[in-house]
Structure 1
Amino acid sequence: MTDLITTLEQQEQELAFDAFDHADAWRLGSRITAIAQESGHKVGIDIRRPGLILFRAALPGITPDQAVGWLGADYAVTGGAFPIRVRGVGVVAAATASGLSSMEDHDLIVTGIRAHLAEAGK
């Protein structure tokens, strides 16, 4: 468990953005969606700020119970989300995937963020 916490903390520090706006949310969400489609995953993808949905996709095969987590009314002790952190600002949004195991959802989001930042030269 300690190794997992260390890994998650390292990911949060490594995968920070210089800025994050609506266009970034669209590009990141589209990238995560493309990765999911290429892998044949039946997932829902959501990027949001408090009170504002920045991106949402529901791939073929998603079930209604997967979308329930997007409503934000309940909390679950599972993975599948990752904070969008801007250097010098803090957490400004969260990206979430739902449909795989908790760790696979998390890894999908991390893979998308890593690819997005690499393309941006960060």
Structure 2
Amino acid sequence: MVFDDDLAIIAAQEATLTFTHFDADIAWVIGHQLRDALLARNAAAVIDICLGDQTLFHIAMPGTAAANAEWARRKRNVVRLMNQSSYAVGLAHAHATVSFHEKMGLSLADYAIHGGSFPIRIGNSGCLGTITVSGLPQREDHAIVVGVLAKYLGKTVQELSA
């Protein structure tokens, strides 16, 4: 089943794409690499990188709207709450009889279980921050973050099938 395969792939991505350290300089480099990857696709998105409560990198590329920044914030909140990528959380709850928001008692205004936000981890730590892209379809938002992180970290990860 593709659904289960995707969840396994995302779990492997999250386990593989970890850092030895993370700071503002790394956020700056990754933020620019994400921007370059989006420009290469003639795409526009909001890119948001946070460590804890501190925003280290944020850009709203030309062609985005304030709504993209709101989506980024809501996706980021999911990662911080659940300690896994927003896409994994969305997929895991896609066929639930009770919605994620009802189950968790959360507001739709503050939490979006759509792909595009990825946890920053150092080694086996929990989520210390987030790297978020918002502006493309959710699967593509997720894939662009994973692709840039894999390249930056010099790691090979399985991509989600199209």
Asked whether the two chains share a fold, i.e. TM above 0.5, the reply is: yes
Paired residues for 1:1-122 under 5 Å: 1-72=3-74, 74-118=110-154
Q: Which runs of 5+ in 1 are unaligned?
A: none
Q: Which runs of 5+ in 2 are unaligned?
A: 75-108, 156-162
Give the share of equivalent positions with the same residue, in percent. 33
Work out the CA distance in 2 between the residues paired with 1:12 and 1:71.
20
1:96 alignment partner, SS class: strand
Work out the CA distance in 2 between the residues paired with 1:65 and 1:94.
19
Cα deviation for residue 49 of structure 1 reads 2.2
Cα deviation for residue 52 of structure 1 reads 0.8
What's the TM-score once normalised by structure 2's chain length? 0.69
1:36 alignment partner, SS class: helix
Which structure has the highest strand share of the two?
Answer: 1
Largest Rg, 1 or 2: 2
1:17 alignment partner, SS class: coil
1:5 alignment partner, SS class: helix
What's the TM-score once normalised by structure 1's chain length? 0.89
Q: Report if the CA contact (8 A) 2:115-2:142 is conserved.
A: yes
Paired letter, 2:28: W
Cα deviation for residue 91 of structure 1 reads 2.0
User: How many residue pairs align between the two structures?
Assistant: 119
